[in-house]
Amino acid sequence: MRSRKYVRVAGFCAMLATGHLAALGQAQSSVTLVPGAPEVEYSKMIFGQFVEHFDNQVYGGIYDPGSKFADEDGFRTDVIEALKDIKTSIVRWPGGCFASTYHWLDGVGKERTPAYDKTWQVEDPNTFGTDEFVKWCRKVGCEPYICTNAGTGTPEEMSDWVEYCNLTVGKYGRMRMANGYPEPHNVKYWSVGNENWGAHELGARTVQEWGPLVRESAKLMRSVTKDAKLFAAATSDKNWTMPLLQAAGPYLDYVAIHGYWDPLFHVNNPAPYLECMMKTEAPELDIRRTIGILDEAGFGGGRIKIAYDEWNLRNWHHPWHGDLRRGFDLEARRKNDIAKTYTMADALFSACFLNACLRHSDVVDIACFAPVVNTRGPIFVHPDGIVKRTTYHVFWMYTNLLEDCMVPVSVAAERLALGDRSVGVLDVVLTADKERTRYACAIVNKDPAAERLVSLDFDGMGIKPKRKLRGMVLSGSSPDDFNEVGAEDRVVPRERDFAVKDGKVALPPHSLTVLFVE
């Protein structure tokens, strides 16, 4: 049992266990490393992405045979390189809502027939299909994750797709081989459906229909690939997910949850910085709710895991969707790519989201940012290059700078308030290597204007006190700073020294900092 000490901080008494890391705001914040807690090696699959046949995400995004950056397969090489740099681990495709009316057979073989995409109400040329997607994933170095059509499709169409990808026998396995792919694609990750709980989805299901449909689809898919990882469209609402688990739980590996917190479907008025900061604790509440449902249904402790297979601060703008009388609106779709939308608010919200996943890494196993390029993605693709939006740099920092294991911390931080709402001003995760010789601490300072002081207990980490620390900081000249064509590097991570005074380090306002302690 380690000894405990009591530390008086600016007029209040905080109890900090020895072996602690303490972060002190200007008055009363503390972050405490839980002594002796076991490290949990977290899943790198939370740094995944999502790409949908929506606007210019696929055609003119990741795939553009006419581009000067295209490789021999028509893939944008600058995009591939950027995704390798953020160690992209898994990518979900082809939707999203698009998946709910997509028929995969239209997108394989030598002759491709354009099809009318009923979801987004445009023609899809079908030149980018299953074989192209898997090949692209292999070039990126990530796992392909396919979302099947549980809207207008059938369980058999789903399992035929698994057969096409993974077998060397049967009608569809042989079809792939005849199409020029003698080796199986070995696609492990398969989801039954997309948002079939919602009235907006073409092929939406009732709660009574969903569980049995997922169960029968999963049985068929598993009969093709025994160890496939199977997901089903779910929510953090018990009324939907409990009956799903009761009917289909034994056949599933993941519940697929979606989260967008700035509702912009109908009106594209992105929330300003402080409003976004008020949303930073919502994902963790959602995760906790979902874990509660899994526990209650008897699938807790990671038996069924959570895949946040679409997430982003900001909803995509497509006002005609779910309101079919309104008609398609090309101009509205373009508003998703207004560069100034993607500020430090997006970056810090995303860091807080990833922190929430890391804190629940025993259950949250996969997350896919939605989408990977264009629309609201971390990479904006244009004919002459790419722009890495602020969110891209968050992925770069987490995948390149953090250590492999989570070390629990408990935080008692000051509140950042907006009207009668407030959130903790700091969001902190501490990572370490397995031997605990190196620590990397990611700290979000949500304060729009003020530095915050963080005090590190080197003693507790078994490390000699330092006079300075190295760190990497993502911030901007203001909370609203953003990158755009011609100004690609306004907001980029910058390495710098942090002076340590009385064990404390000053963190810049509206910033994400990773501090290295070894």
Residue that the structure tokens 């070894």 belong to: 518
- 409-412 vs 48-50, strand pairing mode: unpaired
**Residue 444 near residue 507 (C-beta atoms within 8 A):** no
Whichever of 52 and 457 has its CB closer to ligand AHR, that residue is 52
Q: Both tokens of residue 512?
A: 């994400």
Q: Which stretch binds ligand AHR (CB under 6 A): 23-31, 95-103, 182-190, 444-452?
A: 95-103
Q: How far is the CB of 516 from ligand AHR (least distance, A)?
A: 37
Q: Please identify, using beta-carbon distances, which residue of 172 and 316 lies nearer to ligand AHR.
A: 316
Helix H or strand E encompassing 254: strand 254-262
Task: Provide φ and ψ at 417, rounded to 5°.
Answer: -110, 150
Residue 477 CB contacts under 8 Å (≥ 6 apart), including other chains: 490
Number of residues that bind ligand AHR (CB under 6 A): 10
Rounded to a whole number of angstroms, the minimum distance from the CB of residue 30 to ligand AHR is: 39
Residue 211 near residue 173, CB atoms below 8 Å: no
By CB under 6 A, name the one of 161, 231, 311, 316 that touches ligand AHR.
Answer: 316
DSSP characters for 305-351?
EEEEEEEEEE----TTTT-GGG---HHHHHGGG-GGG-SHHHHHHHH
| Residue 516 C-alpha from the chain's centroid | 24
In the complex with ligand AHR, the residue whose CB is nearer, 97 or 224, is 97
Q: Which of 357, 89, 216, 48 is nearest to 232 (CA)?
A: 216
Q: Write each residue from 465 to 484 as x if it is in contact with ligand AHR (CB under 6 A), else as -, in one continuous string.
A: --------------------
Select the residue whose beta carbon is closest to ligand AHR and give its number. Answer: 96
Binding positions for ligand AHR, 354-413, rule CB under 6 A: none
Pair of tokens at residue 419: 């009207």
Residue 315 or 513 having the CB closest to ligand AHR? 315
Out of 48, 94, 96, 479, which residue is the one contacting ligand AHR (CB under 6 A)?
96
- Asked if residue 96 has a cis previous peptide bond (ω within 30° of 0), the answer is yes
Contacts to ligand AHR from residues 181-200, by CB under 6 A: 194-195
Task: Answer whether 462's CB lies under 8 Å from 506's CB.
Answer: no
Reply yes or no: is the peptide bond before residue 94 cis, omega within 30 of 0: yes
132 in contact with ligand AHR (CB under 6 A)? no
Residue among 343, 353, 337, 280 nearest 476 (CA): 343
For ligand AHR, the closer of residues 324 and 417 by Cβ is 324
Q: Are 188 and 228 in contact (CB under 8 A)?
A: yes
Shortest Å distance, C-beta 195 to ligand AHR: 5
Q: Which is nearer to ligand AHR, 163 or 346 (CB)?
A: 346
Which range, of 8-16, 91-99, 388-396, 405-413, touches ligand AHR by CB under 6 A?
A: 91-99
Nearer to ligand AHR, 97 or 454 (CB): 97
What residues from 254 to 273 belong to the interface with ligand AHR (CB under 6 A)? 258
Residue 445 CA, distance from chain mean position: 20
Instruction: Using the minimum distance from each CB to ligand AHR, give the nearer residue, 67 or 268.
Output: 268
Among 19, 61, 94, 95, binds ligand AHR (CB under 6 A): 95
Which residue of 16, 31, 97, 213 would you call a contact of ligand AHR, by CB under 6 A?
A: 97
Nearest in space to 513 (alpha carbons), one of 428, 406, 423: 428
Judged by CB, which is closer to ligand AHR: 88, or 315?
Answer: 315
According to CB under 6 A, which one of 21, 31, 39, 52 is a site residue for ligand AHR?
52
Which of the residues 494 through 513 are near ligand AHR (CB under 6 A)? none
- Residue 15 CB neighbours (<10 A): 11
The SS3 call for residue 445 is: strand
Instruction: Please check whether residue 21 is in contact with residue 31, taking contact to mean a CB–CB distance below 8 angstroms.
Output: yes
- Closest to ligand AHR by CB, 205 vs 258, is 258
Q: Least distance in Å: CB of 315 to ligand AHR?
A: 6
Q: What angle do CA 94, 349, 483 make, to 5 degrees?
A: 80
In angstroms, what is the minimal distance from the CB of 161 to ligand AHR?
Answer: 18
Distance CA 418, CA 366 (A): 32
In the complex, what is the shortest distance from the CB of residue 101 to ligand AHR, in angstroms, rounded to a whole number? 11
Is the CB of 117 or the CB of 284 nearer to ligand AHR?
117
Q: How far is the CB of 257 from ligand AHR (least distance, A)?
A: 11
User: Where on the chain is the footprint of ligand AHR (CB under 6 A)?
Assistant: 52, 95-97, 194-195, 258, 310, 315-316
